[in-house]
Amino acid sequence: MSEVKISAEPRTEFGKGGARRTRRAGKVPAVLYGHGEKPKHIALPALEFAAAIRKGGANQLFAIEVSDGTQVLALPKAIQRDPIKDTFEHIDLLLVRRGEKVTVDVPVQLTGDAAKDTLIVHDHDTLSVNADATKVPDHLEVSIEGAEAGTQVTAGDVELPKGVELAVEADTLVASITAAPTAEQLEATLPEAEEAAEEETAAEGEQAAETAEGEQAPAEARAEA
């Protein structure tokens, strides 16, 4: 994965108020740490950072140039997002060096189509690997073309790029192929599902009635007093 050059500014305001002002200015609060160095608080341009992450993924390598003259390589270690606005709230960036090995979680993509009348369960959509900090793959692929029901795909089945090693056990389950339920099986389970839903509704009604009685009793006691 090629590195993306991005500018940054030192950040001197901290706390929630400072972070809000940074974001209002179109920047993302971030911190650089690692290699035993004192954490450095910076602000990154929000639009440039977002574009790089969309293109390169969460393991995008950044060549950061801070306005105070600092130049470093860093990988995102933790990204906090606003779940409603889908904007970046804060970024933790890990300092790295060329040739240094890092452990990262890389997305796993399933390619091909499994056999007819099967269901695919993606047990792990990422795998932890050890890789050169400047050569972290943006994703890994494993084929399920023609896979029959009962097939299990493990981490050991995933082909890794040269220099990349698994950081998890080879028998870690990535995906499993199961037989799709038949129409008869779906019909057989329908009454059970309806019965369970009715029982749940009845239980909620009883709980609501008990709550109402509990609220009414204190009121009657106050009236009698």
3 state DSSP class of 8: strand
- Mean pLDDT value across the chain: 86
Q: What is the pLDDT confidence band of residue 2, given thresholds at 50, 70 and 90?
A: confident
Query: What architecture is domain 103-179?
Result: Beta Complex (2.170)
Determine which of 23-27, 36-40, 155-159, 210-214 has the lowest per-residue pLDDT on average. Answer: 210-214
Q: How far apart are CA 99 and CA 73, in angstroms?
A: 12
pLDDT of residue 86: 85
Contact of 15 with 22, CB cutoff 8 Å: no
Give the CA angle between residues 17, 19, 22 to the nearest 5°.
110
Comparing 212 with 117, the larger pLDDT belongs to: 117
Give the CA angle between residues 180, 182, 186 to the nearest 5°.
105
Asked, colleague to colleague, whether 4-96 and 103-179 share their fold, the answer is no
Average pLDDT for 140-162: 94
Comparing 189 with 209, the larger pLDDT belongs to: 189
pLDDT at 147 over 80: yes
pLDDT at 75 over 50: yes
Give the CATH superfamily of 4-96: Ribosomal Protein L25; Chain P (2.40.240.10)
- Half-sphere exposure of 130 toward its Cβ, with a 13 Å CA cutoff? 8
Ordered by start, the domain boundaries in the chain are 4-96, 103-179, 182-225
Tokens of 43: 């602000």
